Each structure stands twice: as C-alpha cells, then as structure tokens.
C-alpha cells in the first residue's frame, strides 16, 4: 500500500508497531487503547508486561514538544486486558497537521483496540467545581476550527459523514461512574470545549463557552474523538480539572500548575483507569 495515502501511512505505522512491540514473539492485539494527557503519562509505567516503543521509531508519528508529554507507544496489560497506550500526544497548536495529531489514535484502533479511553487536563468552567475534580465527557464542542476528516474520505476507515450523536459511549460513561463509586469517590460529567490554544482563554471567552454549554475547556481530545468515531471505535474520555478557567481563577494560569494538579490526582486517576480499562475490555 502506498505511503501517499492515509491508509498506506497508517498501515506502515501499524506494521512497524506490531513488529517492535512483539520483539520477535507473537503479537497480542490490544483490546483497549489509552491516550494519556498532560501530567498523566506516568500511568503507562504501571502496565503489566510493559514494552515501550518510542514515537521516533514509528513512521508518521510526530514527537511532542510540550513538557510533561514523553513520547512512547506502550504495550502491556491491565488485569488481563491487553492494552496499547500513548504516553504523550501532540497537539494542533504545535504546528502539526491534523492528520499527525490523530495518527496515534488511529494506529491504536488499527492495532485492534475497539475502545479507546482519552485523558486530558482541562480548565473548569462550571460553578462549584474545584481543581482535582475528574469529569467524564458527555459530549464536546469542537472549536479548533479543524476536523480530522477534511480531505478525500478514506472509505476503508469509515463513512464520509459520520454520526456524532453519541460521540462518548454511554456504556463507557456509565462504567466510569461505577468504577469511581466502587473506589469511594464520584465523578463530574459534562461537555468539553476543545480549542486550538496555545493561549489559555480570556475571561470573555470563558463566559462565551459557558453560554454555549461547556463545563470544561482544553486544547486536545476532540480531533482524536472525531477520527475514532469515523472508525466506529467506542470512545470514553476523562478530564482532570487542573485549574479553574480564566476569570474564575483568582490567579494567573500556567502549565506548571496544570501539571502539578494532574500529578496530585494521580492515585485517584490510576485507580479509575485500571477499573475502567477492565470494564472496557469486557464490553
Ligand atoms: N484552558 C485550556 N486548556 C487547559 C486549561 C485551561 O484552563 N487547563 C488545562 N488545559
């Protein structure tokens, strides 16, 4: 298959990822894929039978330039469920073409993952929410000004006009709440506004987003979700509310704070992700 087509590039990345991750042994197709956002990459190191393949060794997968995002495609398992995991992701604001931004997510789907769980760091818009809260996405607003599906449609991946009426799988959303409850905490749920960045928003933009129905805001996730729904992959997504959004927060926003809060929520997040992966693997 030619590298001049999306399918050709995807198949090349997938083939090399299989080879590198199986190290000469049999390749075990992952059931669940995971995208780890800002400050959340440490989860990959908790996988059983972990094998890491650096993005640099995989064609067409760009490496992130953002602090807190190391770049490895990680293979392993969680409670017996075979998992593939992106430790670090790239963002549109880094200047990568949209195809590159979603290439890792598409690769995980082509490797076999039928459910993909996406995590991100986000600013909280909803009154009463606090840094450290975790929010399951019920829906999103794609305000990046881009779509992962612009260009000729790749019919082998999915239809020209994919349905987005249940972008975030209802079964996975319900499973996240159940797992959190069993672990002794509760989750927020709401609409994630995905913006281009890289600036944080102005207070006026946050007021606009609240009027539009957003509960949290960030700079990722929506393009991956679009690419994955095109491929009919089930998507679950979770925001770690790392700060209150601009104008609500009394202090200046900065990336160090975002990373620090994400890390402080690590224990809750690890417990949740482990249970969520097992539930997703059983679906
Ligand atoms: N805005 C946008 N992206 C973010 C934020 C925010 O407040 N916090 C973490 N990622």
For residue 17, the model assigns a pLDDT of 96
Residue owning the nearest CA to atom 9 of ligand 1 = 122
Q: How would residue 23 be classed by pLDDT, with cut points 50, 70 and 90?
A: confident
pLDDT, tens digit, 9 for 90 and up, residues 197-241: 999 999 999 999 999 999 999 999 999 999 999 999 999 999 999
Distance, CA 218 to ligand 1 centroid (Å)? Answer: 5
Measure 141 CA to ligand 1 centroid, in angstroms. Answer: 15
Confidence of residue 5 (pLDDT cuts 50, 70, 90): very high
Domain of 264: which CATH number? 3.40.50.1580
Note whether residue 1 is domain-resident: no
37 within ligand 1 shell (Cβ under 6 A): no
Q: Say if residue 276's pLDDT is above 90.
A: yes
Instruction: Give residue 197's domain range.
Output: 6-281
Binding site membership of 279 for ligand 1 (Cβ less than 6 Å) = no
Q: 221 in a domain, yes or no?
A: yes
What is the pLDDT at residue 178? 97
Residue listed under structure tokens 């996406």: 118
Average the pLDDT over each of 111-125, 126-140, 166-180, 243-257 and give the range with the smallest value.
243-257
Q: Tens digits of per-residue pLDDT, 54-75?
A: 999 999 998 766 655 568 999 9
pLDDT of residue 203: 96
Q: Are 223 and 147 in contact (CB under 8 A)?
A: yes
Which residue owns the Cα nearest ligand 1 atom 7? 123
pLDDT in tens, 37-51: 877 788 999 999 999
201 lines ligand 1 (CB under 6 A): yes
**Which one is predicted more confidently, 173 or 1?**
173
Closest ligand 1 atom, CA of 124?
A: 7
The vertex-84 CA angle with 81 and 90, nearest 5°, equals 150
In a domain, 181, yes or no: yes
- Which residues are designated catalytic? 38, 69, 91, 93-94, 121, 219-220, 243, 255
The pair of three-digit structure tokens given for residue 20, joined into one six-digit string = 């590198």
- Ligand 1 centroid to Cα of residue 131, in Å, is 11
> Domain count of the chain?
1
Interval between CA 121 and ligand 1 midpoint (Å): 6
Instruction: List the residue whose alpha carbon is closest to atom 2 of ligand 1.
Output: 218
How confident is the model at residue 224, as a pLDDT?
98
pLDDT over threshold 90, residue 148: yes
In short, whether 217's Cβ falls inside 6 Å of ligand 1 is: yes
Residue 257's pLDDT band (cuts 50, 70, 90): confident
- The answer as to whether 94 is a domain residue is yes
Pairing of strands 134-143, 188-195: parallel
pTM attached to this predicted model: 0.95
Residues in the chain, overall count: 283
Query: Does the beta carbon of 126 lie inside 6 Å of ligand 1?
Result: no
DSSP letter string, 226-252? HHHHHTT-EEEEEEEEEEEPTTTSSS-
């Amino acid at each position: 298959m030619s590298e001049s087509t999306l399918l050709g590039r995807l198949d090349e990345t997938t083939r090399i990822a299989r080879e590198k991750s199986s190290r000469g042994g049999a390749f075990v197709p992952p059931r669940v894929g995971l995208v780890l956002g800002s400050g959340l990459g440490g989860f990959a190191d908790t996988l059983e039978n972990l094998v890491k393949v650096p993005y640099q060794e995989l064609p067409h997968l760009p490496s992130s330039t953002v602090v807190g995002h190391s770049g490895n495609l990680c293979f392993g398992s969680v409670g017996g469920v075979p998992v593939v995991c992106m430790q670090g992701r790239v963002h549109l604001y880094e200047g990568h073409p949209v195809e590159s931004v979603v290439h890792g997510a598409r690769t995980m789907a082509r490797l076999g993952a039928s459910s993909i769980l996406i995590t991100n760091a986000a600013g909280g818009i909803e009154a009463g929410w606090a840094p450290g809260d975790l929010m399951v996405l019920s829906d999103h607003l794609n305000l990046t000004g881009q779509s992962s599906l612009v260009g000729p449609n790749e019919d082998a991946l999915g239809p020209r006009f994919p349905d987005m009426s249940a972008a975030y799988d209802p079964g996975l959303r319900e499973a996240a709440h159940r797992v959190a409850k069993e672990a002794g905490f509760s989750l927020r749920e709401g609409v994630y506004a995905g913006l281009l960045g890289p600036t944080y928003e102005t207070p006026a933009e946050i007021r606009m987003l609240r009027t539009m129905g957003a509960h949290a805001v960030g700079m990722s996730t929506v393009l991956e979700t679009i690419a994955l729904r095109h491929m009919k992959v089930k998507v679950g997504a979770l925001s770690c509310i790392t700060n209150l959004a601009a104008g609500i927060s009394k202090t200046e926003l900065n990336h160090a704070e975002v990373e620090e809060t994400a890390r402080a929520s690590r224990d809750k997040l690890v417990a949740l992700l482990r249970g969520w992966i097992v539930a997703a693997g059983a679906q």
